[in-house]
Amino acid sequence: MLHLTIEGREVEARGGCSILQAYVQAGETLVEGVGCMGQGVCGSCRVMVRLSGEKEVRTALACETLVQEGMQVAFLDYFTEATRHTYDLEDIGDSWQVLRTITDVFPEAPHCRHCSGCDRACPKDLEVQRGVNLAVEGKLAEASHVFDECVMCNLCTLACPESIRPNHLGLFVRRIVASQALRPANLMLRLRQVENGEMTIDFDAPGARPPA
Of 118 and 150, CB closest to other proteins: 150
Report, in Å, the least distance between residue 113 CB and other proteins. Answer: 25
Q: 10 forms bridges with which residues in the sheet?
A: 5
Q: Element (H or E) spanning 111, and its range?
A: none
Q: Of 60, 151, 164, 169, which lies in the binding site for other proteins, with binding defined by CB under 8 A? A: 151
Strand, coil or helix: 31: coil
Q: Element (H or E) spanning 58, and its range?
A: strand 58-61
Would you count residue 82 as binding other proteins (CB under 8 A)?
no
Strand, coil or helix: 66: strand
Q: 110 to 139, contacts with other proteins by CB under 8 A?
A: none
Would you count residue 175 as binding other proteins (CB under 8 A)?
yes
- Which stretch in 96-104, 112-120, 156-164, 170-178 sits in contact with other proteins by CB under 8 A? 170-178
Q: Which residue blocks in 44-165 are alpha helix, DSSP H?
A: 98-105, 117-121, 128-137, 140-146, 155-159
Which amino acid appears at position 171 of this protein?
A: L
Residue 61 to residue 166: CA distance in whole angstroms: 18
Binding string, 30-69, against other proteins, x = CB under 8 A? xxxxxxxxxxxxx-x-------------------x-----
Q: Is the separation of the CB atoms in 131 and 110 below 8 Å?
A: no
**Footprint on this chain of other proteins (rule: CB under 8 A):** 7, 16-18, 21, 23-25, 27-42, 44, 64, 75, 78, 84, 86-89, 144, 148-152, 168, 171, 174-179, 181-187, 189-191, 194, 199-203, 205, 207-210
